[in-house]
Amino acid sequence: MGCGILTTYTEIANIAGIQGLMVYILSGSIPIFMFALVGPEIRKRCPKGFVFTEWVRQRFGIVAALYLSAFTILTMFLFMLGELTAIEWAIEALTGIDATPCMVIECVVTTIYTCLGGFKVSFVTDTFQAIFVLVILIIGIIAYALNIDIDMDLKRETYDQLMGSNKLGWMLLYILPVAIITNDCFMAGFWLRTFAAKTNKDLIVGTGIASIVTGIICTLVGLPGILAVWTGDLVINDENGYNAFFILIGKMDKWVIGVILIFSVALSTCTFDSLQSATASSISNDFCRNKLPLIYVRAIVAIIMVPAIVVAVKAATNVLQIYLIADLVSASVIPIIFLGLSKKFNFLNGFDIIVGGLGALVAVFIFGTIYYGSAEEGGKLLLVWNGLYSDEDWGAFGAFVIAPFGGILIGLISAGLRIGCYWSYCKIKKIEFKVENAGGFKIFNGDTSISTELSDDEDEDEYVEDVVPTESGKKASISI
């Protein structure tokens, strides 16, 4: 949890009221438990892996893994932008000063200690991060209770809009679960922790606690989006709705402002170093196969900080929109990949998931062009340019329907055409047709020569012992 939670949840609450907030909270917390459901299966099939792309490489091949890695790094870059933008808003809302120097310092400091300590440092800062969140919540709750004066007339006027159901809230009931469930799969930090879990039971306990705590915290940080309307500081769907938490804190005693500001920066720093560590891990493992000296990988991450700061200062204007861009990409790319866990879809290969994911993005563009009557608007829909601000605009809803289902459909069509072409080839050459041989280019196929998957009648603790000759002529016992 970074400083971004102090902006996105308040913005949703200000736009879609309590219904939108609760949907966002459940969509953000419950998917964490998903790693306890799919994590053990992924770990069993890829026991030596430590990120999701390792299983994709094993199942779908090198090109598919690089394709997923590229989108993973893009997603983490977008989350870095979101974190820098959120802390920029916090500093400027609470102090009125230019936040750029503070953003630069945060990037420099986190880069230095992450390069020196690696991912172990991230685990350490996560412990402090939990403390920082609790400090912000405790002080924030007390400060709000003592300083916030609600205008009862405003509350009565807006109560039905903010506390009742609305069309946008029902849209979000579909959009946000799809967006966040798929996007969590891009978060390398989550996968690193999934593979690091000592046992599957530990994974269940950890994700279970995380889901509950996340739900409670996000409820508390999101309520200022509604409270700010009732105090008269904002209106419903206010352009400053994302800053509701800090706008209300800014009216309180200076010591409260100081404490919240300090711990918000610390919270952002702890999240930022996790994103840096995960980016370094993805580059090192997925693109360099851990052969490039780590110092060069960390240098690459340090270089990435430059465009991150520039874009955050010059172009990033809305954290929620940044997250939605990442969500739309993940909704297009991830669903077709998870079909690979099922034996019924063994015919899918790397070529199919790449065609499916990219095809889904093209389909969203085509939908946007037709829906808005303009290719330019279709391109803007890919960037979720209009956000989720209007319950009369079905563009975002349509995009998040097309992305996952379009990706799956296009991927299956790709597999059908590929297998059909191979069937025709076999007929012409008068050779035996087998679906498993219809893989297309070898580079798009996963390595199926070694399988770590157990059959239904095998137990994890059982092993097979065989005796094979060695070069010296002696026999060696091998346990599998």
Question: Domain coordinates of the chain in residue numbers?
Answer: 5-316
Residue 34 confidence (pLDDT) above 60: yes
In this predicted structure, what is the pLDDT of residue 317? 62
Residue 288 confidence (pLDDT) above 90: no
* Amino acid, single-letter form, for residue 42: I
Q: DSSP letter string over 202-254?
A: HHHHHHHHHHHHHHHHHHHHHTHHHHHHHTTS--TT-TTGGGHHHHHHTTS-H
% the chain with pLDDT above 70: 88
In this predicted structure, what is the pLDDT of residue 358? 94
- Per the CB < 8 A criterion, the answer to whether 304 and 98 are in contact is no
Least confident among 63-67, 165-169, 179-183: 165-169
Q: List pLDDT tens digits, range 390-434.
A: 657 788 888 999 999 999 999 999 999 988 888 888 888 888 777
What are residue 467's phi and psi, to 5 degrees? -120, 125
* Amino acid, single-letter form, for residue 349: N
377: tokens are: 């608007």
Report the distance separating Cα 408 and Cα 405, nearest Å. Answer: 5
Report the distance separating Cα 378 and Cα 381, nearest Å. Answer: 5
Residue 460 confidence (pLDDT) above 70: no
H or E element in which residue 409 lies: helix 395-429
* Amino acid, single-letter form, for residue 150: I
Q: List pLDDT tens digits, range 184-222.
A: 888 877 888 888 888 999 999 999 999 998 899 889 889
Helices (H), 283-349: 294-314, 319-338
- Identify the band that residue 319 occupies on the pLDDT scale cut at 50, 70 and 90: low
Report the distance separating Cα 267 and Cα 4, nearest Å. Answer: 10
Span 366-383, average pLDDT: 88
Q: List pLDDT tens digits, range 91-111.
A: 888 888 888 888 888 888 888
Q: DSSP letter string over 451-475?
A: --PPPTT--TT---EEEEE-TTS-E
- Identify the band that residue 436 occupies on the pLDDT scale cut at 50, 70 and 90: low
Averaged confidence pLDDT in the chain: 81
> CB 118: neighbour CB atoms within 10 A?
15
Report the distance separating Cα 145 and Cα 142, nearest Å. Answer: 5
Torsion of CA 414, 328, 32, 136, to 10 degrees: 170
- pLDDT, greater one: 354 or 460: 354
pTM of the complete model: 0.77
Give the SS3 label for residue 165. coil
Span 109-115, average pLDDT: 82
The CATH number assigned to the domain with range 5-316 reads 1.20.1730.10
Mapped to the 3 state alphabet, what secondary structure does 149-163 carry?
A: CCCHHHHHHHHHHHH
